[in-house]
Amino acid sequence: MSNPTVTQASSIADSAQGRASNVVPTNLRVTSSNMPLSVQTDVPIFPGSSPALTVTGTWMMAGTRVTANSIGVINRSSIGVGYSAAGSPSGPLQIIQGNQNVLIKF
């Protein structure tokens, strides 16, 4: 089984807001097609119609066999949760499509 990794914000979706508009990256050294691979400490941002409706996400579980700078790489099997500005969960994060250039095989 192989899982695509994540390099672009538009590959991440939140159940309440749709696709992410941006990701605050923490890995800038390990790249694919000149884009950094997403790791567990990255913060996806989902735009809302007002600042109070903007959602950010955190990754609870990332890949354990593949790391970038000792931090787990985000792939299609990673688990994350979105949070509203009030701090309440807005739903799970989902990987819509990933980077087909870097596949993690199990």
Question: Over the stretch 58-99, which tens digit does the pLDDT of each residue have?
Answer: 999 987 788 888 899 988 888 999 888 777 788 899 888 766
Whether the pTM exceeds 0.85: the reply is no
Contact 55, 16 (CB under 8 A): yes
Alpha carbon separation from 22 to 13, 95, 106 (Å, rounded): 11, 14, 29
pLDDT tens-digit series, residues 22-42? 898 888 888 888 888 899 999
